[in-house]
A = this chain, B = another copy of it.
C-alpha cells in the first residue's frame, strides 16, 4: 500500500525543527497517496497548500470520500496503530507531518499543538456529523446544492466562477451518488438557471444562491 514509496519520499522532506512547530514538510504531486488504509499511523498531518481527500473502500471497490481537507486542517490522527482511511492529494499539495508521539502526555508538551489538534478533531467531527446527515437523509439535488455552496464558501476568491479541484468521480464518492447522477443534477441546475457551466468542465458559477440555499434545507 505505497508504504515503500512513503519511505523513499521521507528523506527528501525538509525538516522544520525550530520553526513554530516541529513538523516535516512534504510535497505531494497530483493524485499522490500520502498514506493508505492499513498503513502504520506514525504521523499525522496538517495541510499547508492544496487539498487532500480522505477515503475508505469496500472490498468490491465502492468508495466513500469522508472529507476534502484544505489549508490549515489537521488529519490522519488514529485511535489505533494503523490508518483507517486513505489520504491522497487532489492536485499538487504540501503538508506538514508530525510524529504521533509528540502528542503523548509524557512528551515535552508542545501544549499549543495539542490544543490545536483537539480543536481540529472537534471541527472534523462536526463536519462529519453534518456530512452523515447529507449522506443519510438528503436527496441528490440537495446533496449537490450543499456541495456547491460549501465549495464556493471555501474558495479563496469571493464570488464569481470558480474551479472545482476534483473530478466528478470524487464529487460522486463524496456525496454518495454516481457520477452520472452528479452530472445530470448539475445539468438540471444549469437548465434551471441556478448555476452556469462554462465549457471547461470543472468551472462553475453560482447564479441563484437563494434557490440553492433553499435546496440546502
Beta-carbon contact of B176 and A135 below 8 Å: yes
Beta-carbon contact of B84 and A137 below 8 Å: no
Nearest residue in B to A129 (C-beta to C-beta)? B66
Q: 0/1 per residue, A15-40, Cβ < 8 Å to B?
A: 00000000000000000000000000
| Chain B hits for A175, CB < 8 A | 136
| Chain B hits for A136, CB < 8 A | 64, 135, 173, 175-176
Contact for A64 among B111, B123, B137, CB less than 8 A: B137
How far apart are A61's CB and chain B's nearest CB, in angstroms? 10
Alpha-carbon distance A111/B104, docked complex (angstroms): 11
A115 at the interface (CB under 8 A from B): yes
How far apart are A192's CB and chain B's nearest CB, in angstroms? 21
Contact for A58 among B56, B60, B133, CB less than 8 A: B133
A62 at the interface (CB under 8 A from B): yes
Beta-carbon contact of B126 and A125 below 8 Å: no
A48 at the interface (CB under 8 A from B): no
Which of A54, A85, A131, A138 has the most B CB atoms < 10 Å from its CB?
A: A131
| Chain B hits for A66, CB < 8 A | 128-129, 132-133
